[in-house]
Structure 1
Amino acid sequence: MDEVVRGNRVVWEQASTKHVREYDELLEQARGGADLFPRELELLGPVLAGGPTVVHFQSGHGVDDPALVRAGARVVVGIDYSVVAAGAAQRRATEIGTPCRYVAAEVPGVPVRDECADLVYTGKGAVIWMRDIDAWARDVARVLRPGGSLFVYDAHPAVPLWTWDEDEPRIRPDRSYFAESHVNDTFPGDGAREWQWTLGQFVTAVSRAGLQLDVLEEYAEPFWRPGDGTTAAAWSGRLPNAYALLAHKNASSAASS
């Protein structure tokens, strides 16, 4: 783990104490108060119908994992480099008796065996923390069984450009779509360094890893809004704020190395 990633991990260990402070609220969401977005369920329906084994890269608070089980997953293994987040998620999963387990580890370099998953699920603030998107995609391909799927539902790569002005969407003067990285200045990742991958770079990395693209969709609605009632003109339907990607590993493919 290099110095920048180590610094990001410190930030996220501190931010993840929120998952402990809000344990009861997240527990109720895990019990059934929170589900996947409707479009996620639509796109993942055929995959989840088969009772897949899921590996969730960068699982965070883990609330999506019981939702995946309710939607059909047989078991979910969550991977997150925050010990605090993984520990709180495991406690909740154990308390509600759902077949989810958590491992504190860096992504890429997921400590699971090759070709163990039918579905790799990730997103909702995950991809921006990947310093090497090609290594990430290769790890996805390694973990997936032939015929397995990758599903990503995340912030659109253009989102770092949008200001949160209420009257008009504006582009931040300190950001570029083609920049290598920038420092996050909003909670919970305040002070951590994000890496910027264009949509083209992301799709190319997935393809290079040997996965075949099935669906790529862009949405005006962000996957997350602040809980304090903040409303931004950038979220009014004119600009891309989220995307979904579904890809699969060909049945004849060997795991990428």
Structure 2
Amino acid sequence: MDDAVRRNRAAWETAAGKYVREHDDLLREAREGTSLNPSEIELLRPLLRAAPAVVHLQSGHGLDDVALVAAGARTVIGVDYSAVTTGAAHRRAAALGLACRYVVAELPGAPLSDGCAELVYTGKGALIWMRDLAAWARDVARLLRPAGHLFVYEAHPAAALWSWDADEPRIRADRSYFGDCFVNDTFPGNGAVEFQWTLGEIVNVVLAAGLELLHLAEHPDPFWRPGGITAAAWSGRLPNAFSLLARRPPEPAD
């Protein structure tokens, strides 16, 4: 683990205390609703009908894992490098009696067997923590069984440029769409460094890993809105999220 990743992990271990403190609220949220948004549900519904084994890379607080099981997933394995986060997610899944388990590990290089997943789910603030996106895509392809799917619902790479001004959206002078990285100034903060990838780079590493692109769409709504903020950049004029669905090709018929 290099210094940047080590600092990011330390920042997340500190920030993830929130998920421990808010256990009761998150447990109630998991019981009463779903963290999957309508765009996700529309794309995932036909895949979840088959009751797939799911691997959730960078699983975070685990509410998406609860939602995936509720929507039809047979099992979910969450992988995250924060021990605090995975511990909180495990406690919640155990309280709900769900078929979810968690692994603490740096990514890419998930310590899981080849072909263990019929669906790899990730996003909502995941790819920005990947130092080597090509290696991440190859790891996804390794985890998938033939004809298995990768699903990503993620912040649009351009969204980091939008200011959160209420009157009109502006481009932040301190960031570039083609930059390598920048210091995160929202959650988790604490000096964490976000790595930047253009939409073209994301698509190309998925294709280079041998996956077939089935769907790519851009969305005006962000996947996360911090409380107390209403930004003009979220009014429907600008891209704030994207969804991607890809498939590992099936094995050729004899």
Task: Name the residue aligned to 1:143.
Answer: 143
Task: Name the residue aligned to 2:57.
Answer: 57
Task: Name the residue aligned to 1:21.
Answer: 21
Deviation at 1:39, TM superposition (A): 1.3
Q: Is the 8 A contact 1:32 1:67 kept in 2?
A: no
What secondary structure, in the 3-state scheme, does the structure 2 residue paired with 1:202 have?
A: helix
- Give CA-to-partner distance per residue, 1:98-153, whole Å, 9 cap, x none: 10001111111101100010000000000100010000000000000000000000
What secondary structure, in the 3-state scheme, does the structure 1 residue paired with 2:134 have?
A: helix
State the TM-score, normalized to the length of structure 1.
0.96
The separation in 2 between residues aligned to 1:35 and 1:160, in whole angstroms, is 22
Q: Is the 8 A contact 2:53 2:73 kept in 1?
A: yes
Could you tell me the percent identity over the aligned residues?
A: 65
The separation in 2 between residues aligned to 1:135 and 1:189, in whole angstroms, is 25
**RMSD across aligned C-alpha pairs, in angstroms?**
1.0
Task: Name the residue aligned to 2:250.
Answer: 251
The separation in 1 between residues aligned to 2:191 and 2:170, in whole angstroms, is 23
The separation in 2 between residues aligned to 1:78 and 1:186, in whole angstroms, is 24
The separation in 2 between residues aligned to 1:140 and 1:35, in whole angstroms, is 23
The separation in 2 between residues aligned to 1:179 and 1:122, in whole angstroms, is 23
What secondary structure, in the 3-state scheme, does the structure 2 residue paired with 1:45 have?
A: helix
The separation in 2 between residues aligned to 1:211 and 1:242, in whole angstroms, is 21
The separation in 2 between residues aligned to 1:37 and 1:237, in whole angstroms, is 16
The separation in 1 between residues aligned to 2:221 and 2:95, in whole angstroms, is 33
The separation in 1 between residues aligned to 2:186 and 2:107, in whole angstroms, is 22
| Residue type of the alignment partner of 1:154 | E
What secondary structure, in the 3-state scheme, does the structure 2 residue paired with 1:158 have?
A: helix
What secondary structure, in the 3-state scheme, does the structure 1 residue paired with 2:157 have?
A: coil
The separation in 1 between residues aligned to 2:189 and 2:30, in whole angstroms, is 23
Task: Name the residue aligned to 1:3.
Answer: 3
- Give CA-to-partner distance per residue, 1:42-73, whole Å, 9 cap, x none: 10111100000000000000000010001110
1:75 aligns to 2:75 (yes or no): yes
| Residue type of the alignment partner of 2:188 | P
Task: Name the residue aligned to 2:178.
Answer: 178
Q: Is the 8 A contact 1:56 1:120 kept in 2?
A: yes
| Residue type of the alignment partner of 1:241 | N
Task: Name the residue aligned to 1:120.
Answer: 120
Deviation at 1:190, TM superposition (A): 4.0
* Structure 2: tracts of 5 or more residues without a match: none
Deviation at 1:29, TM superposition (A): 1.9
Task: Name the residue aligned to 1:230.
Answer: 229
Task: Name the residue aligned to 1:199.
Answer: 199
The separation in 1 between residues aligned to 2:237 and 2:35, in whole angstroms, is 26
What secondary structure, in the 3-state scheme, does the structure 2 residue paired with 1:10 have?
A: helix
Task: Name the residue aligned to 1:152.
Answer: 152
Task: Name the residue aligned to 1:168.
Answer: 168
Task: Name the residue aligned to 2:107.
Answer: 107
| Residue type of the alignment partner of 1:169 | P
| Residue type of the alignment partner of 1:40 | E
Task: Name the residue aligned to 2:238.
Answer: 239
Is the deviation greater in 31-40 or in 180-189?
31-40
Deviation at 1:178, TM superposition (A): 0.1
